[in-house]
C-alpha cells in the first residue's frame, strides 16, 4: 500500500527537514521505495533546495537531476515566506499546479514525504497558507515539534490548528533541534512528550535525538 504524508510544523526551524531525513534513512534501511520532496523552497536559488539536499545527503541517496526537478518545483532566493519571496522576486506561485504535480510524482513510490515551507499558517499566496496547501494535497499530516521548553504549548496548538483546518493527523514527531545540555534539559524533553500525549491522545511517531 502506497503511503504519502505532508510534513508540517507550528513554526519554522521545528525540525521538519531533520525528521524527514531520519524517516527517509530508516525507510531506505528497510528497502522501502521512498522519496521526499520540497515543492516550495525559499532561501535557496537556481532550482535547488538546501533542505532536500540535506535530506538526501543524510539518507545517503543520489537522485538524478530529471527526478530532482520533479521534487523541487518553485525556489526563491529570499529567506522568508513564499508569499513575500514571490512578491520580492516578481514570480507567481501556481499552487493548484504544484499540488497536482506532487500527487502525480508521489505515485512512483511506496512511501513519499512532502516537506512544507515554514509553519502551518505561513502564507504561500494571497489566498492560501501551508494549511491550505496540505488540505489541497489531501495526504495525512505529520506534525514536527522541537522538543525544548515551550514544546507542550506548541504541539497542542499545532494539533488543534490541524484539526480546525480539517487535516488528518498521522502523528507527531518530536525533534531535539537543540541538543540537551544537562539533566534538566533531558527531563524537559521527556516530560514534554508525556504531557502532550495526556493532553491530546495523538500518536507519537518518534522522538528523534540530535544525532545527524
Give the tens place of pLDDT for each residue, 84-107: 999 999 999 999 999 999 999 999
Strand order in the sheet with 3-8: 34-37, 111-115, 3-8, 141-146, 169-175, 204-208
Give the pLDDT of residue 1: 73
Active site residue 70: no
Q: What is the structure's pLDDT at 188?
A: 85
Residue 152 belongs to what H/E stretch?
helix 151-164
Q: H or E stretch including 6? A: strand 3-8
Number of domains observed in the structure of the chain: 1
Q: Which residues contact 41 (CB under 8 A, 6 or more apart)?
A: 48, 49, 50, 51, 52, 72, 74, 75, 76, 117
Closest CA to 138 of 106, 181, 186: 106
pLDDT higher than threshold 80 for residue 211? no
CA dist 67 → 19, 43, 70, 77, 140 (Å): 22, 21, 5, 21, 24
DSSP 176: -
**Of 16, 30, 38, 160, which is the active-site residue?**
38
Cα 38 to Cα 35, 188, 208: the distances in Å are 11, 31, 21
Query: CATH number of the domain that 140 lies in?
Result: 3.40.50.300
pLDDT at 212 exceeding the cut of 60:
no
Instruction: Provide the whole-model pTM.
Output: 0.94
Domain of residue 168, residue span: 3-208
Amino acid at each position: 500500500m502506497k503511503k504519502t504524508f505532508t510534513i508540517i510544523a507550528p513554526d519554522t526551524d521545528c525540525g521538519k527537514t531533520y525528521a524527514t531525513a531520519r524517516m527517509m534513512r530508516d525507510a531506505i534501511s528497510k528497502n522501502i521505495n521512498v522519496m521526499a520532496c520540497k515543492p516550495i523552497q525559499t532561501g535557496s536559488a537556481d532550482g535547488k533546495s538546501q533542505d532536500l539536499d540535506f535530506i538526501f545527503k543524510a539518507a545517503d541517496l543520489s537522485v538524478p537531476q530529471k527526478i530532482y526537478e520533479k521534487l523541487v518545483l518553485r525556489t526563491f532566493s529570499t529567506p522568508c515566506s513564499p508569499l513575500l519571496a514571490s512578491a520580492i522576486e516578481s514570480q507567481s506561485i501556481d499552487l493548484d499546479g504544484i499540488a497536482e504535480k506532487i500527487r502525480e510524482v508521489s505515485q512512483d513510490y511506496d512511501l513519499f514525504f512532502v516537506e512544507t515551507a515554514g509553519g502551518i499558517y505561513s502564507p504561500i499566496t494571497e489566498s492560501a497558507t501551508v494549511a491550505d496547501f496540505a488540505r489541497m494535497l489531501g495526504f495525512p499530516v505529520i506534525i514536527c515539534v522541537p522538543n525544548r521548553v515551550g514544546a507542550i504549548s506548541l504541539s497542542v496548538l499545532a494539533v488543534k490548528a490541524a484539526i480546525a483546518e480539517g487535516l488528518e493527523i498521522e502523528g507527531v514527531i518530536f525533534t531535539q533541534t537543540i541538543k540537551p545540555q544537562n539533566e534538566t534539559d533531558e527531563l524537559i524533553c521527556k516530560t514534554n512528550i508525556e504531557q502532550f500525549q495526556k493532553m491530546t491522545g495523538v500518536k507519537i511517531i518518534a522522538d528523534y535525538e540530535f544525532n545527524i
